[in-house]
Chains A and B, each alone.
Chain A
């Protein structure tokens, strides 16, 4: 292999012939690639995006959530009772929620929440076993929309 010798005699590292001439080309290529959008969409995709699609859905959404609340309430009550029974006083609120099935239920109802969001907004220590049911959770979420609607950038992958 033809090579270019490093000027400093104490170092024996070499590069392929013409290597440095290709650097500019490659770097420029990368720069151009970075600014050129390599992603595409199906033909006519943006024309299909209409506000009406979403507004109709939003207007229907409350009934969907409430229907799902009823559907999941019995199951969730059992889950939550188990959570409270197994929750030691030393456990943090976040652990309680992370260990629970609440998130799965919340997700199943189109309400997206992180563990920390629920932990920050729902004080589980205030709840006693006899009054807690899954409905309590949902009533709290529905009457405190900020729980779901505040935006945090605290995803662990973000930090």
Chain B
């Protein structure tokens, strides 16, 4: 933790911040990208959101109070940037965020950066059909193998509520996959 505090201090110090930020980007770009990508689905959209996420991190590091881990704070920013992006994009198209992401999932087959087979495609469609919160929780718990404690800190939701959301999400996905594939 003291290492982290020292690193945060170097991010805040004008003399060292650019170098420290380079390290932060190197260490976190891939995991933040994949977190964002699972939410917005499209590579180019993810690239935009990742850029906005790092911009916010850089601009706001001075306000980071150190009450949570840096990793948690960055994930929280990435999550919110992703949700903001979806909301703005869907607003422009005159649809709800859930409808927008549902349509995106339906068209994944034609995405040159989606290499999944039929099962993976159906799973993504099933995930996209979940309500926003359940989708996020399922993604973080199941696809990113995150701990409830960390998800709770990122989403500001109690562990109990997360477990409930996850339970509902798994149930719905099972039902959807069974319905779509068996009959």
Chain A interface residues (CB < 8 Å from chain B): 19, 26, 29-30, 33-42, 45-46, 49-55, 57-58, 61, 107, 112, 114, 145-146, 149, 151-153, 155, 157-159
Contact = CB atoms under 8 A, between A and B. Distances in A.
Interface string B21-63: 1101110011001100110010100010011101110111001
Interface of B: 18, 21-22, 24-26, 29-30, 33-34, 37-38, 41, 43, 47, 50-52, 54-56, 58-60, 63, 76-77, 79-80, 83-84, 86-88, 96-98, 113-117, 119-121, 123-124, 131-133, 136, 142-143, 145, 155-157, 177, 181-182
Contacts, number: 121
A112 B56 CA distance: 11
B143 A34 contact: yes
For the complex of A and B, the 7 pairs showing the least CB-CB separation, nearest first, are A38-B116, A157-B132, A51-B22, A38-B120, A51-B25, A157-B97, A33-B120
Contacts of A157: 83, 86-87, 96-98, 131-132
Nearest to B157: A153
A40 B156 CA distance: 30
A52 B22 contact: yes
A52 B98 CA distance: 35
A39 B131 CA distance: 22
Residue of A52, A114, A153, A157 with highest tally of chain B CB at under 10 A = A157
A146 B140 CA distance: 27
B22 A153 contact: no
Nearest to A19: B182
